[in-house]
């Protein structure tokens, strides 16, 4: 296994959330430095303490991922001080059309894209050139199975995740020959504060620790796409290749319509 798939210095955004916390604890071990960020100071501190108890060195910083200037500065400083081996851009929010009588309002759409899309890109962008120069490093973008086909319930969320998928695939093609691995992560339903808010059916739901283990395994193998669980991945992929009119009818029939 190439050594850059056994990272020691790992930067994770959204570490105060359910999947981010599980990822942080999966990697927490003696000899590992974790650079963790989120907004909820109390939860971030809890995760940091648990990771420290497992032997990791932890640096944590509360910040708004939508503040791309602050994010870029922090990531650059972290890389200068600790040489990031693996970055996982995981922070994200969701919204759905049933929250407002008239669908998603503009503020919601803008905030969601700033967080899910620009926040993720601001996280990884400062590392791209540094990793290219070192000819090693690993970049992971947490997208979603909803990137395969837009769900009527969550239009801007699906748009943000489809954009991350496309961006990550493009980066993979560009950077893999230069020694930098890029993975796009497409989880199905994972029990979390976010999935709690989703108003449609949630088949094949898994726990955050299971998702974190699956993600880590995929990253250690250097998989460009880490998608799970298999049945939902197949179903969402099929929606993307079927005629769009038929896919929309299937989604309405399964109660994912508007
Ligand atoms: N759960 C699922 O079923 C599922 C499925 C597919 C993909 N995903 C993706 O997995 C990732 C993690 O989601 P999750 O399920 O673990 O949800 P979660 O428990 O709600 O965690 C979301 C994380 O993102 C952070 N975050 C949100 N907005 C932020 C902002 N403006 N600035 C800084 N941090 C911000 C949150 O920080 P605070 O809590 O501190 O505000 C939290 O740490 C997301 O990208 C999500 O889209 C989740």
Closest CA to 135 of 174, 175, 173: 175
Place of tokens 């994770």: 12
Q: Is the beta carbon of 66 within 6 A of some atom in ligand 1?
A: yes
Backbone φ and ψ of 99, nearest 5°: -70, -25
Q: Is the CB of 47 under 6 A from ligand 1?
A: no
Q: Return d(Cα 116, Cα 58) in angstroms, integer.
A: 24
Predicted local confidence at residue 66, as pLDDT: 97
Task: Name the phi and psi angles at 228, rounded to 5.
Answer: -165, 160
193 in ligand 1 pocket by Cβ < 6 Å?
A: yes
19 lines ligand 1 (CB under 6 A): yes
Q: What is the pLDDT of residues 36-62, one digit of tens each?
A: 999 999 999 999 999 999 999 999 999
Ligand 1 mean position to 187 CA, how many Å? 12
Spatial separation of the C-alpha atoms in residues 251 and 211, rounded to whole Å: 25
In terms of Cα–Cα distance, which of 203, 196, 200, 248 is closest to 230?
203
- The pLDDT assigned to 4 comes to 52
Residue 164 makes CB contacts below 8 A (sequence gap 6+) with 89, 116, 117, 120, 141, 142, 143, 147, 184
Burial class (CB in 10 A: 0-12, 13-18, 19+), 206: middle
- Tell me what pLDDT residue 204 has: 97
> How is residue 77 written in tokens?
């400083």
User: Are 181 and 222 in contact, with CB atoms under 8 Å apart?
Assistant: yes
Report how far residue 149's alpha carbon sits from residue 245's, in angstroms, rounded to the nearest whole number. Answer: 12
Give the atom of ligand 1 at the shortest distance from the alpha carbon of 19: 16
Give, for ligand 1, the residue of 15, 19, 75, 115 to mutate: max count of ligand atoms closer than 8 Å to Cβ.
Answer: 19
d(CA 58, CA 56): 6
Q: Using the mean position of ligand 1's atoms as its centre, give its distance from the Cα of residue 177 in Å.
A: 31
* pLDDT value of position 210: 98
The pLDDT of residue 2 is: 53
- Give the other-Cβ count within 10 Å of 12's Cβ: 27
* Residue stretches of the chain with pLDDT short of 50: 1
Closest-CA residue, ligand 1 atom 36, reads 14
pTM score of the predicted model: 0.97
Please answer whether residues 107 and 150 qualify as being in contact, where contact means their C-beta atoms are separated by less than 8 angstroms.
no
Domain boundaries defined on the chain: 3-253
CATH topology for 3-253 is Rossmann fold (3.40.50)
Q: Residue 258's pLDDT is what?
A: 75
* Ligand 1 center–CA 133 separation, angstroms: 31
- Which of 15, 17, 153, 167 has the most ligand 1 atoms within 8 A of CB, as the residue to mutate? 17
Determine the distance separating the centroid of ligand 1 and the alpha carbon of 218, expressed in angstroms: 20
User: What is the pLDDT at residue 1?
Assistant: 42
């Amino acid at each position: 296994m190439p050594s850059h798939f056994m990272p020691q210095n790992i930067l994770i955004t959204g570490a105060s959330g359910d999947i981010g916390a599980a990822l942080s604890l999966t990697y927490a071990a003696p000899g590992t430095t974790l650079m963790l960020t989120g907004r909820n100071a109390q939860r971030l501190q809890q995760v940091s303490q648990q990771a420290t108890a497992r032997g990791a060195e932890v640096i944590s910083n509360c910040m708004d991922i939508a503040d791309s200037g602050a994010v870029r500065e922090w990531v650059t400083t972290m890389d200068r001080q600790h040489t990031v081996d693996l970055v996982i851009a995981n922070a994200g929010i969701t919204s759905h059309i049933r929250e407002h009588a008239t669908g998603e309002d503009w503020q919601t759409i803008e905030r969601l894209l700033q967080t899910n899309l620009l926040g993720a890109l601001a996280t990884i962008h400062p590392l791209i050139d540094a990793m290219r120069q070192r000819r090693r490093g690993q970049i992971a973008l947490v997208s979603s199975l909803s990137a395969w086909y837009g769900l009527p319930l969550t239009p801007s969320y699906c748009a943000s995740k489809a954009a991350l998928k496309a961006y990550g695939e493009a980066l993979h093609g560009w950077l893999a020959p230069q020694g930098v691995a890029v993975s796009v992560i497409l989880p199905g339903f994972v029990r979390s504060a976010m999935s709690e808010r989703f108003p449609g059916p949630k088949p094949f739901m898994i726990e955050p620790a299971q998702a974190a283990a699956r993600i880590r395994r995929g990253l250690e193998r250097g998989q460009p796409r880490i998608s799970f669980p298999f049945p939902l991945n197949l179903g969402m992929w099929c929606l993307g290749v079927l005629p769009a009119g038929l896919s929309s009818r299937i989604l309405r029939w399964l109660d994912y319509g508007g």
